[in-house]
C-alpha cells in the first residue's frame, strides 16, 4: 500500500528543486513536483513535491529525507523522518538453540512491526504447539535420526506468515544421543543390504 508524503518550500528565487531519498537511495522518480508564484511577491516561488511510495518491511527504521536545493544561492536544506513501517512477520530461518538426548529447542527468527505476539509450531510425528511472545519451542526427535521438519507460523496485528524447514543437528555434543543416532543410521544401513 502506497503512502503519501508532502515536502514544500516557500519564497524561493528561483524555485527550489526538491528530491527524496530513503536509506541513501534516490526515490524522487516516485514524486510529482510543482511550483507556483508566491502570494507575497511575484518574483518568488513556492515549490511542492508529493511522494507516493509503497514502503517495504526493510524500510522500517530508515530515514526518509526531502532535500531542497536552491540554485541561485547554492544552498540546501532538508527535512527527515524515521519510518515506522508496519508489516506482517518475515521469517528468516528456524535455528536450533539447544538439544539433549530426546528433545530439541528451536527458534523462529523473524522480523515484524509490531513484534510477533504468537507463534504456532508443527514438527514430524504430529507434534504441535503454541507460544505467546516467545519464539522458541521444544519438540521430541520422534525418529531418532537427528533431523525433523519444523513449521513456524508467526503472527502480529498486521498478519501471519508460515515457514517450514528441515532442521538437523549433530549428536556429537551429546554422547548418548550420538550413539543412539549412529546406531539408528547404521541399522537403516544394514537393513538396506
Over the stretch 123-165, which tens digit does the pLDDT of each residue have? 987 899 999 999 999 998 877 788 889 999 999 999 999 999 9
d(CA 63, CA 23): 6
Of 63, 82, 101, which closes a domain?
Answer: 82
Is residue 187 predicted with pLDDT exceeding 60? no
Are 106 and 71 contained in the same domain? no
The pLDDT > 90 percentage for the chain reads: 68
Of 82, 115, 147, which closes a domain?
Answer: 82
Is residue 193 predicted with pLDDT exceeding 60? no
The pLDDT score that the predictor gives to residue 172 is 61
The pLDDT score that the predictor gives to residue 173 is 52
Reported as half-sphere exposure (CB side, CA atoms, 13 A), residue 74 has a value of 0
To the question of pTM greater than 0.75 for the whole model, the response is no
Read off the C-alpha cell for 182: 549412529
CATH of the domain at 14: 2.60.40.10
d(CA 101, CA 177): 5
Are 7 and 77 contained in the same domain? yes
Are 110 and 154 contained in the same domain? yes
Are 92 and 72 contained in the same domain? no
Determine the structural domain holding residue 95 and report its residue range: 88-176+184-192
Are 75 and 55 contained in the same domain? yes
Domain count of the chain?
2
Q: Would you tell me how many other CB atoms lie within 10 Å of the CB of residue 124?
A: 17
Of 82, 105, 122, which closes a domain?
Answer: 82
Are 54 and 103 contained in the same domain? no
Are 26 and 78 contained in the same domain? yes
Are 35 and 15 in contact by the 8 Å Cβ rule? The answer is yes
Are 90 and 155 in contact by the 8 Å Cβ rule? The answer is no
Amino acid at each position: 500500500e502506497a503512502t503519501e508524503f508532502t515536502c514544500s518550500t516557500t519564497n524561493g528565487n528561483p524555485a527550489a528543486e526538491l528530491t527524496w531519498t530513503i536509506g541513501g537511495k534516490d526515490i524522487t522518480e516516485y514524486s510529482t513536483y510543482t511550483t507556483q508564484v508566491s502570494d507575497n511577491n511575484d518574483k518568488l516561488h513556492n515549490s511542492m513535491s508529493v511522494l507516493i511510495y509503497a514502503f517495504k518491511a526493510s524500510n522500517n527504521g530508515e530515514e526518509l529525507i526531502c532535500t531542497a536545493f536552491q540554485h541561485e544561492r547554492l544552498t540546501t536544506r532538508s527535512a527527515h523522518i524515521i519510518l515506522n513501517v508496519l508489516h506482517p512477520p518475515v521469517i528468516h530461518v528456524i535455528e536450533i538453540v539447544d538439544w539433549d538426548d530426546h528433545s530439541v529447542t528451536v527458534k523462529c527468527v523473524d522480523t515484524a512491526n509490531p513484534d510477533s505476539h504468537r507463534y504456532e509450531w508443527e514438527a514430524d510425528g504430529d507434534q504441535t504447539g503454541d507460544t505467546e511472545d516467545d519464539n522458541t519451542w521444544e519438540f521430541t526427535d520422534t525418529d531418532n535420526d537427528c533431523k525433523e521438519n519444523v513449521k513456524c507460523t508467526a503472527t502480529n496485528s498486521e498478519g501471519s506468515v508460515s515457514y517450514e524447514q528441515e532442521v538437523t543437528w549433530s549428536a556429537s555434543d551429546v554422547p548418548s544421543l550420538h550413539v543412539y543416532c549412529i546406531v539408528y543410521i547404521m541399522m537403516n544401513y544394514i537393513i538396506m543390504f
